[in-house]
Structure 1
Amino acid sequence: MDVVSDAISAMRIGRPSSQRLRVGGRWCTRLAPYEGAGFHVVLAGGCRLLPDGGGEPVALGPGDAVLLPHGTGHVLADGPVDPAEASRAVPFEEVNGTGIGIGIGIGSPGGAGRATELLCGKYRLDRSRAHPLMAELPEVVHLPNRVGEHPELRTAVDLLARELDDRRPGSCLAVPSLLDLLLVYMVRAWTADAEAGAWPAVLSDPVTTAALRALHSDPAAPWSNERLAAEAGVSRATLARRFTGLVGRPPMAYLTWWRLTLAATLLRSSDAPLASVARRTGYSSPYALSHAFSREFGVTPGKYRLPAPERHS
């Protein structure tokens, strides 16, 4: 595994959802904040996105993609939106609940404004297991459609749009898989384009990347600073300096945190016995894992595994 794949897999829960909308005339709709990440891709036309909290509006054109990795509430509209218009925006759930917007216009079909086609979707994420790479993503990641940039992202969008246009045998498996692929490509595009931030720098540093790849490939191995430095091809002092300076914590501290995060993911996503989870995450016994897990998460592994209502009973 690699860091981007693991960072997404650790947080992801359930299946993603998506829908294709065709909107026209004067329209304005609001998506409330949610537990997860959302995205929009403009397949035709254009619109404006206004994030909650006074964020800068984003103009979206044909082929543009936008990721909202922290589930930020926002308004989508056919053009510039003032606060009064935003307050009167139609809730997105009402739009979908009435069927309006699926192949017809939202608002006044004969009004001003060009027709716009949007591919919209959501991912369910557990923020208690957020990798720092995902936590560092800005509230809005705008990925403009530029010739020659991120061709794999454009291919995934095209494939997804075709699957949603014409549901063929296997679509029930193809669509969620393509949505997962789209999220990977959007995060990858941000790490490639970002001009600032710790994790784009981490992933461009060969020494730190080699160390992270080793830790994520086999987190249960008996890693030490010496062994990890040898894996990265540098001295122990060089590894400690570069890894700690970029990642923000020493290699072994990162390993401990990642092992516990992986244990949390296994507890919620499988019924594996605690002894098995301990072995897979590098702990010598269920007791050793339980002690470290309780210190990190403030709850025992058994309680963490219970459904939310039972955890609080």
Structure 2
Amino acid sequence: MSVMTRDFFLYLSKNKALNRAAQNWGGNIASGKIVGGLDFPSSVKFIKELNDYGLSVTVDHLGEFVTNKAVAIERAEECIRTIETIAAQKLDSQVSLKLTSLGLDIDDQLVYDHMTNILDTAEKHQIMVTIDMEDEQRCQKTLDIFKDFKSRYNYISTVVQAYLYRTEEDINELSSYKPFLRLVKGAYKESPTVAFPNKSDVDQNYKKIIKMHMLSGSYAAIATHDDAMIEYTKELAKEHNISKDQFEFQMLYGMRSQTQRELVKEGYKMRVYVPYGDDWYGYFMRRLAERPANIAFVLKGMTKK
């Protein structure tokens, strides 16, 4: 991707006026196309459709960088309700969340209290909760919180990003926890002092961390739309006799739906990331910033049915 294209979509993702406009009129356009629905109950029918195709799901209530305590409390309560609904309706779904939505930028104790309540519910229902990774300045705190809770809870996982220089070392440090990790390239705009500026270097590092984590014996989620990375993962698994039960592929809702179904037919675990909520615009722009091909995938998805 050209730097200009990436920067353009990242700029749009932070435009407050466009975000407000999208929340006011764009939700119905996005629902069932690139997001599940404007709330979780309205997303359930889309999750069931995916499950019927043999696709697993992880859901995410959109919204991050919360600075209001009341909003953070509501986000935590929403997550707990979502886990309970998943269990009650027997959906094949996990939950993803961002720590800034729970108050990471407000107060550490607030986040710990919220995560404790969420994970108590997740353990009760045996539903995995993945802590999404955000920008680099919050990376260390996110991993510290993950490690703390991982020492006490089973149903918790997190994400590492290939574009950060630090990620190889992070995987090594996390290895003793036998973690379930989602491996991604990364979507935030970072300084070249902390992240690879060139796509080729990111791709190379992505292959490196895929191999590291898959050979460690811990569960791996390869979150990519890149055919080259999908084929690399398949060949790596064959070469090292890694069971298909030891890893899965993950893709975004509304993008590469046919490929998702083909992977299921090939016997691979395929999980679809289904965001929901009215704060969908920034998420959408970052997905377009990640990879130019996403633009074509989205246009195709938005015009289906």
TM-score exceeds 0.5 = no
What TM-score results when the alignment is normalised by the length of structure 2? 0.29
What TM-score results when the alignment is normalised by the length of structure 1? 0.28
Q: Which has the higher helix share?
A: 2
**Higher Rg of the two aligned structures:** 1
Larger RCO, structures 1/2 (Cα 8 Å, 6+ apart):
2
